[in-house]
């Protein structure tokens, strides 16, 4: 059954896949970061906080608003951009170079990285391979878009 | 010590105007496109190994073509790039190939990258939870680990100290030296972590051995440093790791020693190949190296007075402090000491210094030790 | 420079006697009751293994390293018992505030955990299967030539200071060794990439190298660290992100993916060190700000180097046609703003709050970016 994006179920599904592919993520190394995902839609937004620890997504929760002081960074974007990214991942098995997180967020024009502390911001790049591979797991999940 | 650039670029109007012009008009200088450099197309010789430094050993980019005396590059430019006038002098101390080179340097580096391991996660530390070593063994192990922690940290300082002094054209050697420093940091970490998981903590420092460590670091040339560090010290330590693996009281210790052994063997391999290379390509250096070996061997022998280490070995080898344990420990430790010296001279012999035995006081000590061991009925 | 032993030990009777005593079974055991703390460290999280943080215990821990190290100048492992005649190793970095960062032990563990191998982790043969247009490949070869210069200097910086740092900062020294190795690996990757596209290497950069040498040869570790780890690390990180975003090949994208992780760690340490230094040595704030003022022209020397900026325009725009250069210029203008803005963010977060407002390079870069 398709899982709706955005939702905690979607991130929980990725979490399950991540656990199942532990060896792959172990090879990429520790990932210790907590970040926010904000999906905007017609002036409204849904917000999620993802807490990664060691090799796992420890916890994901939906929140009303993301407190930038409590996360390392937040990835913010319109639902259309997120959808395009996930559909691209589905088609290719992983994001192509026009649809990976770094490219989409590079100049903040499609996805935007928002942060309070630049040390937190740099964690996105320190753990980029793991974070990208985490989102690439979307290729193994049936996703529907509301 | 500070260096100031020949130009303050904030005040260099031409520099800023040219940049501004490029950005405003899109007209680029593009003179770098005409760089007088060679066009090559390297390929992976073996796809399982991937693209190695050896695959890049082509024309002006290759290490084979590096001359004995590097006169053309004293900057930070990568070997083979076009070097315009105005680049700074990197102040390298070592620009002579035979002072640093070793057959297979590039492969030793690639091996180091490929065989990286992680003390934190590759050692099954959790198994130590249920291990309670007898006090004698635990303390002897901690004392050994304390000594090895001291040894390994100087082994990071020494290659690190030399790295920036090497001409940038010796990029494969610099890379190997950087990898070695990381290997040694990992070894320090492994031994410190093990000492702090025995329940006894660290033990006593080893002043006699510290003197030897200072000798390793402070050499007059890279080759002298290398013969003392890679050949004498690491050669001895390699034998010691093998011995320690044999004596290891737990499978965790065995794993530690097996992993550090791999790294150490690589360093000794480089040291041997370099020693061979320098003897063959810089024959005038032979006497200098003999003289440095006189010092290195003297200090190496001084290590036998470090009873805190010898006694730890005896206890670990014999399995305790009872009379029969100590007797057995002494037999095994004697064999180890002699093996260590024997292997040292074997290495020098293989590298092209067979005459070393005639000159060496350490060799005389070895012969005396061997005779004494045989007289004591120790089978060698 | 050489250090010689104080005597000929092969003729020293005390050595023979000591050895004979022990080898006759008369052990001294003087070390057996070492006056050291007895601890048994354990991993707190089995997935993570046994980290340095797990061993931050009592007299062995890094938390208890004092600001001034006055009694340790030898190779003794921190926490073990000192005795006898220990050598003076001549360390010059003996104050914790001059070297430490709160994130250093974590960064060391992260570094080992996130290791990679350029020879096999980058799909090099993909460049044979999908060759790149000649002008873009030439631009790549020039860009990666420039990046090798940056990597070499960064490697030399860590190496230059390691032997001068007091042995009690063992986790810090280990991290610096990891940095050396990181930059050796990046240098290797950049060289392989530059050569495997078939265009050979390009030209060294005069402004780049002059600037790099000024930063490398800074007269104290905190200043050099600010320049090499925070500033240069930040520039390399920004270049990696930019090239990954405009990657002309899968090889470039994969390589820059790994390179951005490595360079982000350097930047994180640089920020952490500066923050620690200024927090513990507030009186040094003005001297540090003055150093930034004096040396920030190097940012221009690097970012404005034709050997960097021109290949970036070509790679970003996808070629040398007019419209491609136009697009490339626009992208590079954004890149410049991004690199400079993040540089000031890091300085400010670390404690140099006035950097942006007093900077003389900010308006220059803005004027140049706006021109595109």
Check C159 against B30: CB less than 8 A apart. no
Q: What is the pLDDT of residues A113-135, one digit of tens each?
A: 999 999 999 999 999 999 999 99
Phi-psi label, residue B42: left if phi above 0, alpha if psi -120 to 50, beta otherwise: beta
Interior angle at CA B18, CA B13 and CA B21, nearest 5: 120
Q: How many domains does chain C have?
A: 2
pLDDT at B82 (0 to 100): 98
Q: Inspect the interface and report whether the beta carbons of B199 and C82 lie closer than 8 Å.
A: no
Is there a contact between C250 and A132 if contact means CB atoms under 8 Å apart?
no
- Which portions of chain B are predicted below pLDDT 70? 1
**C161 and C271: one domain?**
yes
Rounded to a whole number of angstroms, the distance from the CA of C275 to the nearest CA of chain B is 23
Is residue B224 a contact partner of residue B288, using CB atoms and an 8 Å limit?
Answer: yes
Residue C119 and residue B365: Cβ atoms within 8 Å? no
* Any domain includes A127: yes
pLDDT at B1: 65
Interface test with B, best of C82, C110, C200 (most B CBs within 10 A): C200
The interface predicted TM-score (ipTM) is 0.97
CB < 8 Å to B18, chain C: 306
Q: Check whether residue C134 and residue C176 sit in a common domain.
A: yes
Alpha helices (H) in B197-283, listed in sequence order: 207-217, 222-226, 234-247, 251-281
Per the structure block, which two tokens stand in for C22? 């022990």
Range of the domain at C44: 9-64
Residue C92 lies inside a defined structural domain of this protein = no
Residue of C nearest to A27 (CA): C114
Q: Cβ–Cβ of C74/B116 closer than 8 Å?
A: no
Interface touch B125/C211, C-beta < 8 Å: no
Please tell me which chains touch B, using 3 or more CB pairs under 8 Å as the contact test: C
Tell me if A121 is assigned to some domain: yes
H/E stretch holding A56 reads strand A56-63
Which CATH number characterizes residue A122's domain? 3.30.1050.10
Distance from CA of B359 to the nearest CA of C (A): 13
| B41 touches C: beta carbon within 8 Å | yes
d(CA A139, CA C114): 24
Residues C30 and C101 in one domain: no
**Residue in the structure block whose two tokens are 């007019």:** C322
Instruction: Look at residues C23, C40, C64 and tell me which one is the last residue of a structural domain.
Output: C64
B 269-288 near C (Cβ less than 8 A): none
Domain count, chain A: 1
Report chain A residues whose CB lies below 8 A from the CB of C47.
54-56
Residue to substitute from C61, C169, C204, C360, interface B, most B β-carbons within 10 A: C204
Measure the CA angle with vertex C155, ends C154 and C156; round to 5°. 90
Query: Domain boundary residue among C64, C89, C107?
Result: C64
Contact flag B26-C313 (C-beta cutoff 8 Å): yes
d(CA C137, CA A89): 28
Do the Cβ atoms of B205 and C160 come within 8 Å? no
Contact yes or no for B107/B173 (Cβ under 8 A): no
Which chains border A (3 or more CB–CB pairs < 8 Å)? C
State the count of interchain CB pairs (< 8 A) between A and C: 80
A37: helix, coil or strand?
strand
Start-to-end C-alpha separation, chain B? 56
Q: Print the domain residue range for A20.
A: 3-141
Do C239 and C310 reside in the same domain of the chain?
yes
Average pLDDT over residues C293-300: 97
Give yes or no for B43 touching C (CB within 8 A): yes
Could you tell me which chain B residue has the CA closest to the CA of C176?
A: B182
**C156 contacts in chain B (CB < 8 Å):** 90, 163-164
Distance CA C71, CA C166 (A): 11
Question: Among A100, A118, A128, whose Cβ lies nearest the Cβ of C261?
Answer: A128
Give the integer Cα–Cα distance in Å for A63 and A74.
13
Yes or no, beta carbons of C36 and B202 under 8 Å apart:
yes
Residue C189 included in any domain: yes
Question: Residue A65 class from Cβ within 10 Å (0-12 exposed, 13-18 middle, 19+ buried)?
Answer: exposed
Is residue C89 domain-resident? no
Looking at C48, C64, C80, the residue that finishes a domain is: C64
Cβ contact B141:B312 at 8 Å: yes
CA B100, B106, B109, B115 dihedral sign is negative
Determine phi and psi for A49, rounding to 5 degrees.
Answer: -115, 125
Residue A146 falls within a domain, yes or no?
Answer: no
Q: Which residues contact C21 (CB under 8 A, 6 or more apart)?
A: C28
Beta-bridge mates of residue B50:
B46
Among candidate residues C171, C138, C139, C146, the one with its CA nearest the CA of residue C55: C171
Q: Are residues C57 and C102 in the same domain?
A: no
Fold designation for B99-375: Ribonucleotide Reductase, subunit A (1.10.620)
Nearest beta carbon to residue A128 from set C257, C271, C272: C257
Where does chain C have alpha helices with state H?
13-23, 104-113, 118-121, 126-129, 134-161, 170-196, 206-216, 221-225, 233-245, 250-280, 285-295, 297-303, 306-317, 322-350, 355-358, 361-371
Contact check, Cβ <8 Å, C201/B15: no
Beta-carbon contacts of residue C108 (< 8 Å; ≥ 6 apart): C52, C171, C174, C175, C178
pLDDT digits (tens, 9 = 90+) for A27-75: 999 999 999 999 999 999 999 999 999 999 999 999 999 999 999 999 9
Contact C113 A30 (CB under 8 A): yes
**Helix, strand, or coil (residue C214):** helix
Residue B50 and residue C122: Cβ atoms within 8 Å? yes
Choose the closest CB to B150 out of C76, C173, C211.
C76
What is the tens place of the pLDDT at every residue in C26-66?
999 999 999 999 999 999 999 999 999 999 999 999 999 99
DSSP class of residue A72 equals: S
Per the CB < 8 A criterion, the answer to whether C300 and B16 are in contact is yes
Residues C168, C313, single domain; the answer is yes
Contact C89, A9 (CB under 8 A): no
Residue C289: count of CB within 10 angstroms of its CB = 18
User: Where are the domains positioned within chain B?
Assistant: 99-375
Instruction: Give the CATH number, domain containing residue C158.
Output: 1.10.620.20
């Amino acid at each position: 059954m398709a899982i709706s994006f955005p939702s905690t179920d979607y991130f929980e599904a990725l979490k399950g896949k991540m656990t199942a592919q532990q060896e792959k993520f172990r090879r990429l190394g520790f990932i210790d970061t907590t970040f926010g995902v904000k999906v905007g839609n017609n002036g409204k937004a849904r917000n999620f906080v993802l807490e990664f620890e060691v090799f796992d997504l420890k916890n994901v929760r939906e929140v009303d608003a993301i407190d930038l002081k409590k996360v390392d960074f937040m990835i913010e974007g319109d639902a259309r951009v997120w959808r395009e990214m996930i559909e691209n991942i589905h088609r290719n098995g992983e994001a192509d170079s026009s649809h990976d997180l770094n490219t989409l967020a590079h100049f903040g024009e499609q996805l935007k990285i928002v942060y309070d502390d630049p040390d937190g911001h740099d964690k996105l790049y320190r753990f980029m391979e793991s974070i990208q591979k985490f989102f690439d797991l979307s290729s193994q999940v049936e996703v529907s878009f509301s | 010590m500070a260096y100031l650039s020949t130009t303050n670029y904030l005040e260099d109007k031409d520099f800023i105007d040219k940049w501004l012009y490029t950005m405003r008009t899109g007209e680029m200088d593009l003179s770098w496109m005409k760089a007088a450099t060679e066009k090559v197309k390297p390929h992976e010789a073996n796809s399982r190994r991937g693209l190695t430094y050896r695959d890049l050993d082509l024309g002006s980019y290759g290490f084979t073509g590096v001359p004995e005396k590097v006169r053309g590059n004293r900057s930070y430019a990568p070997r083979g790039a076009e070097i315009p006038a105005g680049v700074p002098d990197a102040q390298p101390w070592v620009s002579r190939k035979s002072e640093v080179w070793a057959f297979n340097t590039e492969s030793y580096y690639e091996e180091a990258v490929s065989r990286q391991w992680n003390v934190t996660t590759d050692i099954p530390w959790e198994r130590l939870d249920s291990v309670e070593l007898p006090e004698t063994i635990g303390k002897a192990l901690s004392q050994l680990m304390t000594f090895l922690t001291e040894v390994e940290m100087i082994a990071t300082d020494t290659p690190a100290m030399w790295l920036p002094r090497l001409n940038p054209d010796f990029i494969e050697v610099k890379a190997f030296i950087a990898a070695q420093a990381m290997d040694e940091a990992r070894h320090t970490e492994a031994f410190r972590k093990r000492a702090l998981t025995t329940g006894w903590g660290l033990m006593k420092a080893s002043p006699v051995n510290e003197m030897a460590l200072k000798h390793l670091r402070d050499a007059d040339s890279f080759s002298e440093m290398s013969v003392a560090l890679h050949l004498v010290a690491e050669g001895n330590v390699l034998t010691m790791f093998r011995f320690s693996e044999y004596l290891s009281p737990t499978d965790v210790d065995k794993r530690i020693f097996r992993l550090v052994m791999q790294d150490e063997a690589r360093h000794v391999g480089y040291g041997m190949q370099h020693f061979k290379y320098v003897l063959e390509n810089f024959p005038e250096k032979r006497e200098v190296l003999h003289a440095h070996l006189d010092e290195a061997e003297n200090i190496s022998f001084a290590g036998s007075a470090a009873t805190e280490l010898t006694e730890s070995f005896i206890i670990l080898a014999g399995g305790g402090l009872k009379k029969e344990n100590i007797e057995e420990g002494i037999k095994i430790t004697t064999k180890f000491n002699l093996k260590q010296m024997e292997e040292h001279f074997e290495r020098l012999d293989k590298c092209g210094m067979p005459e070393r035995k005639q000159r060496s006081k350490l060799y005389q000590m070895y012969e005396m030790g061997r005779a004494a061991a045989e007289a004591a009925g120790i089978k060698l | 420079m050489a250090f010689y032993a104080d005597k000929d030990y092969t003729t020293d009777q005390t050595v023979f006697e000591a050895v004979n005593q022990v080898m006759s079974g008369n052990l001294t055991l003087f070390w057996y009751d070492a006056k050291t703390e007895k601890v048994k460290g354990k991993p707190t999280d089995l997935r993570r293994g046994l980290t340095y943080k797990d061993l931050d215990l009592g007299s062995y821990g890094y938390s208890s390293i004092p600001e001034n190290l006055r009694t340790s100048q030898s190779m003794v492992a921190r926490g073990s018992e000192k005795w006898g005649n220990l050598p003076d190793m001549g360390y010059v970095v003996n104050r914790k505030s001059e070297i430490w960062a709160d994130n250093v032990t974590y960064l060391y563990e992260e570094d080992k955990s996130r290791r990679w191998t350029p020879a096999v982790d980058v799909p090099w043969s993909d460049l044979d299967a999908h060759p790149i247009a000649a002008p873009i490949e030439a631009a790549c070869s020039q860009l990666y030539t420039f990046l090798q210069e940056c990597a070499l200097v960064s490697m030399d910086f860590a190496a230059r200071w390691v032997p001068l740092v007091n042995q009690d900062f063992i986790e810090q020294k280990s991290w610096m060794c990891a940095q050396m190795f990181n930059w050796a690996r990046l240098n290797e990757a950049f060289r392989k990439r530059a050569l495997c596209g078939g265009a050979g290497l390009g030209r060294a950069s005069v402004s780049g190298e002059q600037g790099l040498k000024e930063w490398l040869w800074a007269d104290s570790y905190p200043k050099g660290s600010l320049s090499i780890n925070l500033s240069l690390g930040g520039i390399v990180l920004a270049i990696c992100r930019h090239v990954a975003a405009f990657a002309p090949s899968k090889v470039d994208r994969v390589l820059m993916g790994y390179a951005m992780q490595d360079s982000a760690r350097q930047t994180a340490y640089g920020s952490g060190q500066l923050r620690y230094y200024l927090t513990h040595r507030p009186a040094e704030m003005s001297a540090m700000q003055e150093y930034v003022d004096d040396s920030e022209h190097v940012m221009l020397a690097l970012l404005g180097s034709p050997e960097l900026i021109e290949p970036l325009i070509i790679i970003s725009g996808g070629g040398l046609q007019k419209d491609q250069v136009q697009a490339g210029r626009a992208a590079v203008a954004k890149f410049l703003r991004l690199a400079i803005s993040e540089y000031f963010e890091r300085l400010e977060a670390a404690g140099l709050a006035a950097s942006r407002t007093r900077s003389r390079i900010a308006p220059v870069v803005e004027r140049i970016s706006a021109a595109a």
